[in-house]
């Protein structure tokens, strides 16, 4: 195909440099070149030097494909999530955590955007990744395919399984801490603003958080406000909370997005945050700090979750049959301007 048509004499042609070429230039065999580059073989230092020098001059880099073919490993791991369903802020932090760990191991990190229910991403199907981090949502198709080819997986911030390594956050404890803090400030009528989401995972998480809310209210000996059934539009459930005979003075929202919408809705009803109502979100989005008032929130350690997941995955790559692990990280309560003592 005239692919290596080295028509001109300059040695810096873009055509691919192979160990074979280096071998010819160095006057040795191809295998010797490979040994020189790999190290750990017995080669005369002079020969090795000559080879390395030529390789350097030609800007040689091994073909990833060839190496992957022979070694059976691609030194690449995939990070999967359902894009569009999660603020990219959050996912990117997980991704960076994963990247940080694997970059140090010389591995590449790549994002798999799961396309809804469609085909298993090519990277997995064609064994182009050695392991998988599944974020935010269990992709059952991906999971079972990975299992069928024996590819290690770790779930990060997704509903845990008995079979796979997992990293999750303590939703129950986190929400409880938020409620406790509000109670400490003197709030007695504290409500939980649920998600509207139809997707099953958000519902699960939402139920966890609702449970945290209810438990905390109970242990604080406070009467709980009704928790909207999953699927109820936010504005509806917010509306009914505000229409209660005893209007809540503090709202813990399912996440920061909903907290933002809530603050806006309160504003439109001439309710001032935090003078009339305190609001707490969950996630600590980038923007939360810049809202007016700045948003109090449960910071989920996204990046750390990525790091933890990557570490679990790395360990499993080294030792495929080690016992399954489940790490639980704790969120941290960040109090900003959207929270104050209740009105007198």
Partner DNA sequence: CAGGGATAAGAAATCGTATTCTCAAATCCG
Partner DNA sequence: CGGATTTGAGAATACGATTTCTTATCCCTG
| Residue 18 binds to a second copy (criterion: CB under 8 A) | no
- Token pair listed for 77: 């791991």
- Rounded Cα–Cα distance for residues 99 and 231 (Å): 35
Residue with the two structure tokens 């989920």: 300
Nearest approach in angstroms of CB 320 to DNA is 17
With CB under 8 A as the rule, give the number of residues binding a second copy. Answer: 60
Query: Which part of the chain contacts DNA (CB under 7 A), choosing from 27-35, 101-109, 254-262, 316-324?
Result: 27-35
| Residue 286 binds to a second copy (criterion: CB under 8 A) | yes
**H or E stretch including 221?**
none
Residue 42 interaction partner, one of DNA, a second copy, none, beta carbon < 5-8 Å per kind: DNA
- Rounded Cα–Cα distance for residues 146 and 134 (Å): 11
- Token pair listed for 72: 């059976």
Query: Of 137-176, which residues contact a second copy (CB under 8 A)?
Result: 147-150
Choosing from 218, 244, 292, 328, the residue that interacts with a second copy (CB under 8 A) is 292
Which residue, 1 or 344, has its beta carbon nearer to a second copy? 1
Handedness of CA 169, 172, 175, 176 (dihedral sign): negative
Which residue, 20 or 88, has its beta carbon nearer to DNA? 20
- Give residue 238's Cα distance to chain centre: 30
Strands (E), 35-115: 76-81, 108-113
Query: Of 43-72, which residues contact a second copy (CB under 8 A)?
Result: 59, 61-69, 72
Backbone φ and ψ of 240, nearest 5°: -70, -30
Residue with the two structure tokens 């399954």: 324
Could you report how far apart the first and last alpha carbons of the chain are, in Å?
84
Choosing from 6, 11, 27, 286, the residue that interacts with DNA (CB under 7 A) is 27
With CB under 7 A as the rule, give the number of residues binding DNA. Answer: 31
Residue 12 interaction partner, one of DNA, a second copy, none, beta carbon < 5-8 Å per kind: a second copy
| Residue 71 binds to DNA (criterion: CB under 7 A) | yes
| Residue 128 binds to a second copy (criterion: CB under 8 A) | yes
Q: What three-state secondary structure class fits 127?
A: coil
**Bridge pairing between strands 76-81 and 108-113:** parallel
Nearest approach in angstroms of CB 37 to DNA is 5
Nearest approach in angstroms of CB 81 to DNA is 28
| Residue 113 binds to a second copy (criterion: CB under 8 A) | yes
| Residue 108 binds to a second copy (criterion: CB under 8 A) | yes
Burial class of residue 145 in the structure, from the number of CB atoms within 10 Å of its CB (0-12 exposed, 13-18 middle, 19+ buried) = middle
Which of 160, 215, 210 lies closest to 329, judged by CA?
160
- Token pair listed for 282: 């969950």
Choosing from 127, 275, 322, 332, the residue that interacts with a second copy (CB under 8 A) is 127
Which of 6, 327, 7, 3 lies closest to 168, judged by CA?
327
Residue with the two structure tokens 């007016």: 292
- Report the interface residues with a second copy, using CB under 8 A: 3, 12, 14-16, 59, 61-69, 72, 74-76, 83-84, 87-89, 91-92, 95-96, 99, 103, 106, 108-111, 113, 115, 121-123, 125-128, 147-150, 257, 260-261, 263-264, 267, 285-287, 290-292
- Report the interface residues with DNA, using CB under 7 A: 16-20, 27-32, 34-35, 37-38, 41-44, 46-48, 60, 62-63, 66-67, 69-72
């Amino acid at each position: 195909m005239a692919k290596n048509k080295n028509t001109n004499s300059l040695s810096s042609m873009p055509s691919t440099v192979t160990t074979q070429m280096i071998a010819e230039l160095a006057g040795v065999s191809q295998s010797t070149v490979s040994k020189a580059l790999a190290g750990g073989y017995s080669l005369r230092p002079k020969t090795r030097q000559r080879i390395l020098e030529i390789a350097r001059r030609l800007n040689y880099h091994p073909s990833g494909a060839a190496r992957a073919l022979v070694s059976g490993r691609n030194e690449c791991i995939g990070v999967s999530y359902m894009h569009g369903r999660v603020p990219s802020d959050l996912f990117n932090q997980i991704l960076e955590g994963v990247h940080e760990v694997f970059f140090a191991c010389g591995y590449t990190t790549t994002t798999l955007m799961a396309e809804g229910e469609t085909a298993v991403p090519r990277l997995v199907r064609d064994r182009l990744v050695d392991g998988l981090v599944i974020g935010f949502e269990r992709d059952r198709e991906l999971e079972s395919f990975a299992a069928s080819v024996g590819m290690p997986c770790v779930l990060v911030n997704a509903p845990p399984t008995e079979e796979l390594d997992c990293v999750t956050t303590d939703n129950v404890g986190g929400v409880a801490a938020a409620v406790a803090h509000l109670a400490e400030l003197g709030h007695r009528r504290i409500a939980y603003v649920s998600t509207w989401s139809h997707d099953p995972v958000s519902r699960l998480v939402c139920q966890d958080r609702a449970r945290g809310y209810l438990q905390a209210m109970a242990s604080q000996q406070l009467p709980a406000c009704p928790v909207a059934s999953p699927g109820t539009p936010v504005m509806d459930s917010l509306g009914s909370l505000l229409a209660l005979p005893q209007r809540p003075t503090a709202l813990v929202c399912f996440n920061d997005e909903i907290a933002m919408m809530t603050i806006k809705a309160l504003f439109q009803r001439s309710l001032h945050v935090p003078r009339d109502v305190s609001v707490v979100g969950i996630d600590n989005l980038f923007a939360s700090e810049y809202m007016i008032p700045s948003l109090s929130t449960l910071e989920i350690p996204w990046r750390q979750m990525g790091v933890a997941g990557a570490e679990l995955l790395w360990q499993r790559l080294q030792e495929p049959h080690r016992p399954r692990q489940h790490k639980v990280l704790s969120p941290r309560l960040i109090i900003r301007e959207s929270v104050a003592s209740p009105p007198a």
